[in-house]
Structures are given as C-alpha cells and as structure tokens.
C-alpha cells in the first residue's frame, strides 16, 4: 500500500538516521513484530524491557511508512467527542478511554526523556467551535471533561481573541497535550533497542505467517523463516489484510509546513489548535519555529488521486491558516499527503482475534495514533506476560 506522498518534512529534516540489514538467515525468538514504525518501535521497547527476546521486521526502511508522514500531535482527545463516545460505549468505558490517553502522554514523556532528538514538548491544546451552532455541544463536552477531572478551561470569544488573536465564538483550552518528532523517536527507540539485544531487520517483507499450537512461523519473500512464541502486527493501515472483518475506513489527509519564522512565539504558548468541524483543521509548531497545518481530508485513499490533489489542498490549507491568522506570515516550505484511517468509535484495536492466541494487533488508528500506540505496547506486553489488564477489553475486536 502506498501510504504517503514523497518527501514529508520529517524525512527531509532528518534523513536516514540509522540503517539496518535485511534478514538473511532463519531465526527463532520470543516475539516477532511486523512493522518498524512508531507502533512497532514502542512495542519493541516495552517487550524488551519486560525480558522478551524480540525481533522486528519491516518491508520498508525503519519509520518510512505512515510514521514519516505523521504530524504527531499528542492529545488525550479522541476523534469521537466524549459525549458521543458515551452514547456508543457507555460512560464508564468512554471516560476510561479518555483518561488512558491522558496517561499515555505522561508515559511517552518519560520515554522521550532519554532522547533530545525526539523533541517532546508539552503544550496546551485549543479546540474551538468552528460555527456558532457548535457552541452548545462544545460546552457539553467541556462540562463532561471537567466533571471527570480533566484539566480544561472554557474560553469565550473575548478569551480566544486575547490569547490567540482570531475570532471564534468559544473553545476548550486543555492543559495536557504535547508534540513530538515521531520519525526521530522511532529511530531513537530502535537504535537503543538494538543495543539491548533486539534484532532489527528492514527491507524484509513477510509474505506469509501461520499460527501453531506453540507459536507462530513467518516466512519472508526470500524464503527465510522466523519462529516466534508470539507475533505482534503493527503494520498500521496495512494490517487490515490480516483481519477477517472491516475495522477501518481509509481517507486521504494533507499537511504543509511553513518556512522557519524569526520568532519562537506564534500564539498563546504555541498551543496545538484544532476545531469542531469534520474533517477538522489542526495546527502545531516545531522546535525550529515552523508551523504545521493539516486537514482537508478526502473520503478516498487512492494514492494517485491523493497525490494529484496535493497542490490544491496545500493551497487551501495555507488559505485556511491566513484566514485565522492574517497577521502571521506563512509561506509553505513543504507539503505532503498520506493515508489516514478511522474506526467506528474512534478507538484503536489492540489484542488478538478469537482463536489466534499467539498473534496480537497494535492498531492505533485515528488522530490519536501515537498515544494509542503507547497503550498498545503496554497492553500487549502485559498480555504476553500473562498478566490481567482490565482496560484491554476497551479496544478488543469483539466490541
């Protein structure tokens, strides 16, 4: 699957940070991980620290799939608003899902403390009402979050004008959000994992795997075999081919990055910004004073159609920014497009399919892909250890 257009900013910014060999021999391991993006790297990190001998493989080079195209906004908010998720999943499960994402940001911060190059930075987050009609539902969302102990502040039109400089009727300012360089973090994790004994192989495509009584056997396109006690599938949107039912809807999404600014302050604490409209516009800054804008999603995933639309979409994103911030200079320096997936409730799929006890899925779909990947790595590690994880049911395939 063609997951992104050429030349996302993060790839050009850092290039190929570390290189890894392809698999040349048959091997045995405790856990094999398919997918060396941010999801697979986090899984490898947790599994190795739990004592598992671990092998990770990818048909591409490390981090070169969706991870290289991620805009990497870290938020506890799920694409499905809490009020809607309560209707879909019940109040207890919906609130717990939000609180787990909140904790995942803290947990990722602890991991990123090892590497400055990951550029993990705490930010507040503003979700504004795109239209006047959205205010009532947004206020309900604010009250629900506050009721359940999430640190939020209600902003009226004057508050938004004073803090951010643009005019919207209302918004929720959340204390807890962050940004990270997903591509750099992926390489940092796997480089360290390799020094701890994890075997990392890229340019190694798995063409077949089968589950047996005591484990899983994988075969590469070159005929090499990997025998493992457990398998983790962390191939992102390409993982759907291994699931017998439809669990995702694919779309195309677009992003642009500005030239570096002369100031390191663009708006209130350089908060992450997003809106209530669907598809939503979202913004963040970078550590070298650029502005990242994403959105203008399309309900198709054809890569040729997606890439052809990129110039028009990039211009539309730039115009949307200038409408919000007419006094901030913005000139597009990089633009790219990628595949994006959503689920029926906005939640990830984590765990194993019925009758496949040795194969786990770490599928962090949606706008919260990285925080979902943290949860997947933690939960799958607990499952592999035989530990009870009461939260795992929230994201299983039976929901």
Q: How far is CA 208 from CA 27, 86, 213, 237, in A?
A: 15, 39, 17, 18
Rounded Cα distance, 114 and 117, in Å? 9
**379 and 336 in a common domain:** no
Task: Give the residue numbers spanning the domain of 321.
Answer: 121-179+249-342
CB atoms within 10 A of CB 195: 8
What's the pLDDT at 395? 97
**241 and 264 in a common domain:** no
Cα dihedral sign, 163-164-166-169: negative
**8 inside domain:** no
**1 inside domain:** no
Which DSSP string do the residues of 79-106 spell out, in sequence order?
SS-HHHHHHHH-HHHHHHHHHHHHHHHH
**100 inside domain:** no
**288 and 162 in a common domain:** yes
**170 and 256 in a common domain:** yes
Domains in the chain, number: 2
**Which of 300, 321, 342 finishes a domain?**
342
Rounded Cα distance, 353 and 158, in Å? 50
Q: 């987050």: which residue's tokens?
A: 125
Q: What is the chain's pLDDT, residue by residue, as a tens digit (399 residues)?
A: 654 555 576 565 666 789 999 999 999 999 999 999 999 999 999 999 999 999 999 999 999 888 988 999 999 999 999 999 999 999 999 999 999 999 999 999 999 998 999 999 999 999 999 999 999 999 999 999 999 999 999 999 999 999 999 999 999 999 999 999 999 999 999 999 999 999 999 999 999 999 999 999 999 999 999 999 999 999 988 888 899 999 999 999 999 999 999 888 899 999 999 999 999 999 999 999 999 999 999 999 899 999 999 999 999 999 999 999 999 999 999 999 998 889 999 999 999 999 999 999 999 988 889 999 999 999 999 999 999 999 999 999 998
**256 and 169 in a common domain:** yes
**336 and 287 in a common domain:** yes
**209 inside domain:** yes
Q: What is the DSSP letter of 182?
A: H
Rounded Cα distance, 236 and 118, in Å? 21
**334 and 277 in a common domain:** yes
**381 inside domain:** yes
303: domain CATH number is: 3.30.9.10
What's the pLDDT at 367? 84
pTM for the full model? Answer: 0.94
**337 and 188 in a common domain:** no
């Amino acid at each position: 699957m063609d997951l992104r257009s050429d030349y996302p900013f993060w790839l050009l910014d850092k290039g190929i940070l570390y290189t890894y060999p392809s698999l040349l021999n048959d091997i045995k391991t405790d856990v094999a991980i398919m997918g060396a993006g941010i999801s697979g790297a986090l899984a490898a990190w947790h599994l190795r620290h739990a004592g598992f001998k671990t092998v990770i493989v990818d048909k591409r080079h490390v981090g070169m799939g969706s991870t290289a195209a991620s805009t990497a906004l870290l938020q506890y908010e799920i694409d499905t608003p809490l009020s809607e998720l309560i209707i879909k999943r019940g109040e207890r499960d919906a609130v717990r899902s939000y609180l787990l994402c909140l904790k995942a940001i803290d947990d990722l911060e602890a991991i990123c403390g090892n590497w400055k190059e990951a550029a993990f930075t705490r930010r507040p987050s503003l979700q504004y009402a795109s239209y006047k009609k959205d205010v009532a539902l947004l206020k309900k969302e604010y009250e629900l979050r506050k009721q359940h102990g999430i640190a939020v502040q209600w902003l009226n039109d004057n508050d938004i004008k004073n803090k951010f400089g643009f005019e919207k009727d209302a918004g929720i300012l959340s204390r807890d959000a962050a940004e990270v360089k997903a591509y750099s973090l992926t390489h940092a994790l796997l480089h360290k994992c390799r020094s701890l004994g994890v075997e990392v192989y890229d340019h190694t495509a798995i063409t077949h795997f089968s589950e047996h009584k005591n484990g899983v056997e994988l075969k590469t396109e070159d005929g090499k075999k990997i025998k493992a006690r457990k398998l983790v599938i962390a191939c992102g949107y390409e993982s759907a081919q291994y699931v017998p039912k439809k669990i995702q809807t694919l779309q195309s999404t677009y992003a642009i990055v500005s030239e570096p600014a002369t100031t390191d302050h663009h708006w209130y604490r350089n908060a992450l910004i997003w809106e209530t409209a669907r598809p939503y516009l979202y913004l963040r800054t970078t550590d070298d004073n650029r502005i990242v804008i994403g959105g203008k999603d399309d309900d198709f995933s054809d890569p040729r159609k997606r890439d052809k639309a990129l110039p028009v979409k990039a211009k539309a994103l730039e115009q949307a920014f200038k409408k919000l911030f007419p006094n901030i200079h913005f000139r597009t320096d990089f633009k790219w497009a990628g595949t994006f997936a959503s689920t029926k409730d906005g939640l990830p799929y984590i765990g194993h399919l019925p009758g496949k006890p040795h194969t786990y899925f770490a599928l962090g779909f949606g706008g919260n892909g990285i925080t979902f990947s943290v949860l997947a790595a933690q939960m799958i590690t607990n499952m592999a250890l035989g530990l009870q994880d009461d939260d795992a049911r929230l994201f299983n395939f039976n929901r």
